[in-house]
Amino acid sequence: MSPQTASSSLQLNIPQPPSKIITTSPSPSSDLNGHIHAHSDSKPNGNGDGRSLLFDNTPLPNNGNTQTLNSPTTSNSNNRKSLDIHKTPSELDPMDLSRTPPPRTFAPSPPPPISRSDSFTDITMHVNVAPQRPDGVNGVRISKKYRDESELSRLMRTVDFAARKHSCQRRKDVDQTPYINHPIAVANYLSSTGITDVKVLQAAVLHDTVEDTHTTIEEIAQLFGTDVARIVEECTDDTSLSGLERKTAQLRSAPYKSREAQQVKLADKIHNLESIRRCPPVGWGIKRIQAYFIWAKQVTDVCAPAHPPLAEKLQELYETAYTRVDGVYHPCHPGVCGPLTEPEKDLVDSRLRGLKKGDKVCPAPIFF
Ligand SMILES: Nc1nc2c(ncn2[C@@H]2O[C@H](COP(=O)(O)OP(=O)(O)O)[C@@H](OP(=O)(O)OP(=O)(O)O)[C@H]2O)c(=O)[nH]1
Catalytic residue among 41, 208, 211, 260: 211
Beta-carbon neighbour count of residue 122 at 10 Å?
A: 14
The overall pTM is greater than 0.80 = no
pLDDT tens, residue by residue, 157-185 = 999 999 999 999 999 988 899 999 999 99
Residue nearest to atom 18 of ligand 1 (CA): 243
Residues of the chain with pLDDT below 50 are: 1-135, 360-368
Domain chopping of the chain, boundaries: 9-319
Distance of alpha carbon 4 from alpha carbon 299, whole angstroms? 30
Residues 6+ apart with CB under 8 A from 207: 183, 186, 231, 232, 235, 236, 264, 268
Residues 6+ apart with CB under 8 A from 195: 201, 263, 307
Tell me, rounded to whole angstroms, the distance of Cα 20 from its chain centroid.
23
List pocket residues of ligand 1, CB cut-off 6 Å.
43-44, 46, 171-173, 182, 208, 237, 243, 268-269, 272, 275-276, 281, 292
- The strand ranges marked E within 236-342 are 322-325, 328-331
Q: How far is the CA of 18 from the centre of ligand 1 (A)?
A: 33
The amino acid occupying position 285 is: G
With residue 88 as reference, give the H or E element that holds it. Answer: none
Residue nearest to atom 10 of ligand 1 (CA): 43
pLDDT tens, residue by residue, 47-102 = 333 333 444 433 333 333 333 333 333 333 333 333 333 333 333 343 444 444 44
| pLDDT value of position 359 | 52
Question: What is the complex's ipTM, to 2 decimals?
Answer: 0.96
Residue nearest to atom 19 of ligand 1 (CA): 44
Q: Which CATH number fits domain 9-319: 1.10.3210.10, 1.10.640.10, 1.10.8.420, 2.60.40.2470?
A: 1.10.3210.10
What 3-state class would DSSP assign to 358? Answer: coil
What 3-state class would DSSP assign to 32? Answer: coil
